[in-house]
Chain A
Amino acid sequence: ETGVTQTPRHLVMGMTNKKSLKCEQHLGHNAMYWYKQSAKKPLELMFVYNFKEQTENNSVPSRFSPECPNSSHLFLHLHTLQPEDSALYLCASSQVTNTEAFFGQGTRLTVV
């Protein structure tokens, strides 16, 4: 248990569906991140939020839309995804001044 909880753990969605991934942390951290990990590939940084403000968008397609309503919650809204978007989506949090990141267990997403 890392203190970062992601739901759902598994998600299967069609290309025309809209779904959301949720991440929650109770560590008092003020930075949150979304990463994508495709099969046998390194983690790719997608988005970074510091103090609820988006500070990084790593050229992510607009079909992925993040939302950070407060420092404890982070969402990734998904719509009209492609099969190649199937991957493990990982959320992480850290203190902005502390460089240790804590990761959730991830959401295994399959787009059919």
Chain B
Amino acid sequence: LAKTTQPISMDSYEGQEVNITCSHNNIATNDYITWYQQFPSQGPRFIIQGYKTKVTNEVASLFIPADRKSSTLSLPRVSLSDTAVYYCLVYSSASKIIFGSGTRLSIRP
């Protein structure tokens, strides 16, 4: 079973900042928090990964509180092309990469 809980769906508009929160109460010490994006009929694509505090790359930011029991993926100024399913996963090199149901993000003009 996936070890994370995230909203089933979210809607937003172009140009807005979107924050998707993920709950992972049973995260293990060695687990990293990893987010993937998937478009229809394509394989998931890695977005960002973090262990604690904040991580930022050219695509997104990942905020992780001190207790690591949740995380928030932040997408700045979304566009229509950001419409996709976003998966939050927690795993380490010693555990399986298990996907949950993800969050279906719809961006409107």
Contact = CB atoms under 8 A, between A and B. Distances in A.
B99 A106 contact: no
A42 B93 contact: no
A17 B96 CA distance: 31
A102 to B, nearest CB: 7
Given A2-B45, A92-B43, A106-B43, A99 B102 contact: no
Tell me the interface secondary structure of chain B in the complex. Answer: loop
Contacts of A4: 43
Interface residues of A, number: 26
Given A42-B2, A42-B102, A101 B41 contact: no
B64 to A, nearest CB: 15
A20 to B, nearest CB: 19
Contacts of B32: 99
Interface in A82-100: 88, 90-92, 94, 96-100
30 contacts: A2-B43, A4-B43, A33-B97, A42-B2, A42-B100, A42-B101, A43-B44, A45-B97, A45-B98, A45-B99, A48-B96, A90-B43, A90-B44, A92-B43, A92-B97, A96-B93, A97-B93, A98-B93, A99-B92, A99-B93, A99-B97, A100-B34, A100-B46, A101-B44, A101-B46, A101-B97, A105-B43, A106-B41, A106-B42, A106-B43
Given A4-B43, A103-B43, 4 more contacts: A98-B93, A99-B97, A101-B97, A103-B44
